[in-house]
Each structure stands twice: as structure tokens, then as C-alpha cells.
Chain A
């Protein structure tokens, strides 16, 4: 287990009589890419704001790199943090480079670090243009460049890929991977579960202010024990043979659409099922094993 960078204990936030976050414990290690998922109103944003020091917890404590965020050393801690807010609108009247220079000044970072950062996020050509002329994706990249100022050791990214096209999303995660390789820790939220399931190291599912589960995607899947799906293609009469082969393995359902057979099976029966289907020989046209997606896991924890 790597050394802990983000440590939250018993975090609770109340707004009047509403408990937005209830008793959250969280440990995130150095160099981890940690995802925080949950539907709107689950408490993600409130938790995020408490971790960033924007909201004081009603109860509980937060330590970043072993220090309290609001303590006397807060300037030093904040210099090591990068933050990309959701849907941030930076200053329209400034150019991209001027925007970065302003934030660099406030962070105590030398201005000559700005141009290489713009290049890193793919805005090298647009640095001299006013932000008002930027597309949504370009603004998001500029916000990301801002978060990377001063080589932060900890990055908080709130819905970071909003407005990015698929190519830019791939580039974005490429940069995140380079950063984790350098030991940078990242906490990101996303509502696009398919996008983050292959990319985060660990994640937490939030629901009604609580963390319902924490772990790798595989751990969460196993924890839920969700059935997997076999997709089988083959010639006529396949369905009957498959049903008889798999009957004692406890299939939950067998459906057929457009010549494709879908069998939902308990995960424990995976290898046995594959062994039996192999006996079909040439009658078996094609076979896919579909693991439950993060979305299935997410809805599994919600229900």
C-alpha cells in the first residue's frame, strides 16, 4: 500500500437539517488515479469541496499529505494542489497565455512555465487568442493547464472531460497516466462510467451522502457478484443444445435476438460453462464473455 496522500475520517457535512455527506472515510495513496462516482445529489461535490478546503466539515477530519488543509501551512499545501472545477468559465477578456500567467502569479510559479503547459494540453497555437473565442473543449484544456501549474502532487478534477471530443479524451488520460507514473495523485469525478472504468485505479461509489463501496472495478464487480453474459453465435438448433449443456449451472436467463444467444450466468460458473461450450466444436460460430460494466455495478449498489 503506497503512503497515504488523502486521508479523510468520519467526514460529515450538514446544511441545516440536510446531511449532504455522512461519515465518509477515504484513503488515497500516492500515485493513485482515484474515481468518485455517484448521481447528482449523491454528495460528490460536497465531499470534493471539503477535500479541497472550500467547505469546512461539520464533523470529521481531512489531511492532505499528512497536514490539515486549513492549518498554518495552507499556502504550502495549496501550491502542491491542482484543481479543475466543473464547467469553469475563465476570464473571457484575457488570452489563454494571460489567463495562465495570472494563475501562475497567484501560485508563485514562474511565468515561463505557462507556454510549455499550453503546448502540453494542445493549445500552443491558441495561446494568444482571447478565451472568449475558445470552444468549450479548448476552455476545458486551458482549465486543465491551469491545474497543472507548479507541478502539483495532488490533482482534483471535477468532470474533467466535459466538452472534449474522443481524441482529446484519449490525450487527456494519456497525460494523467504520465502524471501518475511520476507519483502524482489524482481524484476525479465523472458521470460517464464507461469512460472511467478502464482508466481509474480505484473508485468509490457515493449514494445519499455515503460511500457505498470502494475498490478497483474488478473488486467492486466481485463484491456485487453480478452475473456475466455469454454471447453465443452458431447454426440452427444451437439454442436447444446450449440450454441442455448449461442447465445445471443455474443460468438466470437465455434470450435470443437476431441469431445471437445471450446467456446470463453466475460468475462462479464461468469456466465450467466455457469448458462445456467448447464441446460444441464447429457448431459454435463465435463466443464472447461480457463482464458486468461499471454501470451495472453502479446500479447494483444503488438498488
Chain B
């Protein structure tokens, strides 16, 4: 039934979000994911250069560069796994109908679920990488610390964007199995296939077409936005990726890219709410 156009009741959103968050805290999801982030970040910071024959903390630039290439695979996967059954899971359990007969709107249901899951993901991301930031802080000057915090913030945005995509897919899917298929598909597309397609198109056209368009096309993928955000934050990292040379500096402004990320968080959520209402 089309939900009446009503003002959002933030109490209902908070109650739903609280349940989702406490569920993840209680089943130790938050703790487990935070630990994974801490261990991985520490290993990369201290052993990342082992192949080059040196062990120990090298530089924050190299650490962030390595973390970016890891996080770009891991965070979308974790966010998609976290959110893919947000709505379809309730539907399959039979509790969705019950929730919808309560004094709450469909928009509140989606936003409450999203907020709770986002809190769980955000908490583990900030706690996991934050702990490493604290451990590394003796090695860092203010500038390095600033960039590490920037990396954490962009990681958070990346997670929230993919969580938003996951919640949207959980509204589209008829059952959990299909929702998990869609989530895996989304991961493959954004994380693995998208860049290859772009490069393929660029190479096929011999660089004739798309060269100017290329940087803008990257904005169509939150994983690429995340990469560009971090590439532009550090000279050291910029040199690590050839990409930087083709990307116009004006487009690389962190505020602009942050805005694009925000769009990637809001748009799928808006689509999810709209689809769910009809």
C-alpha cells in the first residue's frame, strides 16, 4: 500500500536502528570485523615492505597506498554481506508484514534498518582502523595523521555507499538466495569488472574516444571514487598509481569527491524507499 506522505518519525527510525545495531554488537559481528581491520592494517603497516626486504613501519603514504588496495576489495564485500538481507530477510521470515502493520512508514523502516547497519559498519571501521592509527601515531607527524584520518573517513564513506546498494538490492530481490546473488554480482561489477570495461573501451578506441570522459566515468563507481579520493590525498600515493596522471586535478577535490560519495549513499537509499513504497 502506498505509504501516506507523512513526516518521518525519528523515534521509529531510532528504535529500528537500535535493534539492528545491538543485534550486530551482540552476535560479535562488530567486534570480529573491527579485529579483522586492525590485524590487516597492522600487518600492512609493519610487514607491507617485506617483499622489498625490509620489515617495520616505512611511511604513512605507502601504508595508506597498500591499505587502499586492500580496503577497496574488502569493504564493499563486507558492506554487501551486511545489508543484502535487510529487507528480504524480514520478508522471508514473515516479520515484514507484521512490521508494516505497526505505526511506521516504509521509508522509516528502510532508513531505520540502514542507520542501524551503518552504525555497526561505521563503528567497526572506525574502531578497527582507529586502533591502528593510535598504534602508529608515534611514527606520524600532524600531516600524516591528517591523511590517515582522511583515509578512515573515505573508507567509512565507501562502506556506507555499498551498504546503501546492498539495502537497495534487498528491496529488489524476491528471496534471500537471489539477494545474495545480486550482492555478489554487484561486488564483481563494481570492484572487478567496471575498471576493466573502462580500460577495454579506452584501449579499443585507441584512446580516441573516452579519454576526456574517462575521469567522469570513474565517478560512476563508488570504489573508484574512493581510490581517487585517496590517490589525491598524498603525493606518494599519487605516484604509486598511474591513474593520477589522467585525472584532472579539479575533479580530484576531496569535497567534490566526498559529495559524489554522498550521492552514492543517498541515491540507492532513495531508490530503495521509492521501490518499497510501491
Chains A and B come from one and the same complex? yes
A226 CB contacts on chain B under 8 angstroms: none
A72 CB contacts on chain B under 8 angstroms: 4, 6
B97 CB contacts on chain A under 8 angstroms: 49, 52, 54, 83, 85
Q: Are B98 and A83 in contact (CB under 8 A)?
A: yes
Q: Mark B150-180, 1 if CB is under 8 A from A, else 0.
A: 0000000000000000000000000000000
Q: Please, which residue of chain B has its CB at the minimum distance from the CB of A87?
A: B94
A102 CB contacts on chain B under 8 angstroms: 15, 19
C-alpha spacing A88/B99, complex, angstroms: 11
Q: Are A90 and B95 in contact (CB under 8 A)?
A: yes
A90 CB contacts on chain B under 8 angstroms: 93, 95
Residue from the list A71, A91, A107, A156 in contact with B103, Cβ < 8 A: A107
A57 CB → nearest B CB, Å: 9
Q: Does A282 contact B (CB under 8 A)?
A: no
Q: Are A55 and B1 in contact (CB under 8 A)?
A: yes
B12 CB contacts on chain A under 8 angstroms: 106
Q: Are B101 and A54 in contact (CB under 8 A)?
A: yes
C-alpha spacing A79/B102, complex, angstroms: 7
A79 CB contacts on chain B under 8 angstroms: 103
C-alpha spacing A88/B98, complex, angstroms: 8
A91, A93, A106: residue with the most chain B Cβ atoms closer than 10 Å: A106
Residue from the list B9, B27, B95, B99 in contact with A89, Cβ < 8 A: B95
Residue from the list A53, A70, A71, A87 in contact with B101, Cβ < 8 A: A53
Q: Does B2 contact A (CB under 8 A)?
A: yes
C-alpha spacing A53/B100, complex, angstroms: 9
Residue from the list A86, A88, A93 in contact with B95, Cβ < 8 A: A88
A176 CB → nearest B CB, Å: 19
Q: Does A290 contact B (CB under 8 A)?
A: no
Residue from the list B1, B9, B101 in contact with A56, Cβ < 8 A: B1
Q: Are A70 and B1 in contact (CB under 8 A)?
A: yes
Q: Are B102 and A89 in contact (CB under 8 A)?
A: no
C-alpha spacing A86/B100, complex, angstroms: 15
Q: Does B81 contact A (CB under 8 A)?
A: no
Q: Please, which residue of chain B has its CB at the minimum distance from the CB of A106?
A: B102
**Given A93-B26, A102-B15, A54–B95 Cβ distance below 8 Å?**
no
B15 CB contacts on chain A under 8 angstroms: 102, 105-106
Q: Which residues of B contact A (CB under 8 A)?
A: 1-4, 6, 9, 12, 15-16, 19, 23, 26-27, 93-95, 97-104
What are 24 A-B residue pairs whose CB atoms fall within 8 Å in the complex? Answer: A52-B101, A53-B101, A54-B100, A54-B101, A69-B1, A72-B4, A74-B6, A75-B103, A78-B101, A83-B97, A83-B101, A85-B97, A85-B98, A88-B94, A89-B95, A90-B93, A90-B95, A91-B95, A93-B23, A93-B27, A105-B15, A106-B12, A106-B99, A106-B103
